[in-house]
Amino acid sequence: MQNTLNKIDWEKSELLPVIVQEIETNEVLMMAYMNKEALELSLTTKIAHYFSRSKQRIWKKGETSGHTQDISEFLLDCDNDTLLIKVKQEGVACHTGRKSCFFTNIETGKAISKIEVNSAEMYGVIDELYHIILERKSADPEISWTAKLFSKGENTILKKIVEEAGEFCFAVKDDDEKEIIYEAADMVYHTMVALALKNISPDRIKQELARRFNMSGISEKNARKD
């Protein structure tokens, strides 16, 4: 195994670009990255594992959706710094619910393939919302509220969070259940816009919360003082 890993030119980058191709059709499904650990897991299990730059962790393709990739072949390029893997794709490869991640014509902006699977059901509403917000970064501010927020910049985004937090607190104070839920949703949305501004996946927040479950509240606060 170590001899195989050593064939990669890791000095160029700790992350190896990986092109993913459907073995039966040769369709390019996606492009991702592997670090040494992800590559070792992929070689050992023959199931695609990647390193997510946004989540900052190893992830098994299909760990949430069940749309795994069984690897048939690993092909290294002539510079030893890019990998092509041929896979049998279970379900779809793209988080949007499309078979391939490459579906937008850059000149027309139109999608050339249809959504095959409801991605909200696969990943949950928070992850779905985050990806929609990311897509809105490049949308027309005249037709998208989210794009307008991005166009106005960080201060406007942060002011909206403060504003929505205040309205949420007033709703709690008024003991208005309907308004509490409504304002909490607004606050979550605007917080997600701020996370997307900094390209921080909500998965990172889940990881931090999971870490805290193993600590008492006092211990966690003391650790932050160091």
* Residues in a beta bridge with 104: 111
User: Residue 68: inside a domain, yes or no?
Assistant: yes
CATH number at residue 90: 3.10.20.810
pTM of the model: 0.73
Per-residue pLDDT at 222: 59
Per-residue pLDDT at 58: 95
Residues 46 and 107 in one domain: yes
At 140, give phi and psi (nearest 5°).
-75, 120
Distance CA 213, CA 210 (A): 5
At 21, give phi and psi (nearest 5°).
-125, 135
* Residues in a beta bridge with 58: 51
Domain-ending residue, one of 119, 141, 171: 119
User: Residue 225: inside a domain, yes or no?
Assistant: no
CATH number at residue 176: 1.10.287.1080
Domain-ending residue, one of 95, 119, 143: 119
Distance CA 64, CA 122 (A): 7
Residues 146 and 207 in one domain: yes
User: Residue 130: inside a domain, yes or no?
Assistant: yes
Nearest-5° Cα angle at 194, 190 to 198: 160
Residues 114 and 22 in one domain: yes
Distance CA 110, CA 106 (A): 8
Task: Report the SS3 class of residue 9.
Answer: coil
Which pairing describes strands 69-76 and 49-52: parallel, antiparallel, or unpaired?
unpaired
Per-residue pLDDT at 185: 97
Q: Which tokens sit at 50?
A: 């990647």
Residues 98 and 21 in one domain: yes
User: Residue 224: inside a domain, yes or no?
Assistant: no
* Residues in a beta bridge with 116: none
Per-residue pLDDT at 84: 98
Residues 129 and 184 in one domain: yes
Calculate the alpha carbon distances from 145 to 13, 33, 48, 69, 207 in Å.
38, 32, 37, 36, 29
| 128: DSSP letter | H
Domain-ending residue, one of 87, 103, 119: 119
Residues 83 and 100 in one domain: yes
Residues 16 and 44 in one domain: yes
Task: List the pLDDT tens digit at each of the 226 positions of the chain.
Answer: 889 999 999 999 999 999 999 999 999 999 999 999 999 999 999 999 999 998 899 999 998 889 999 999 999 999 999 999 999 999 999 988 899 999 988 888 888 999 898 776 777 889 889 989 998 998 899 999 999 999 999 999 999 999 999 999 999 999 999 999 999 999 999 999 999 999 999 999 999 998 888 865 555 555 555 5
Contacts of 198 (CB under 8 A, 6+ apart): none
- Domain that residue 77 falls in: 2-119
User: Residue 95: inside a domain, yes or no?
Assistant: yes
User: Residue 226: inside a domain, yes or no?
Assistant: no
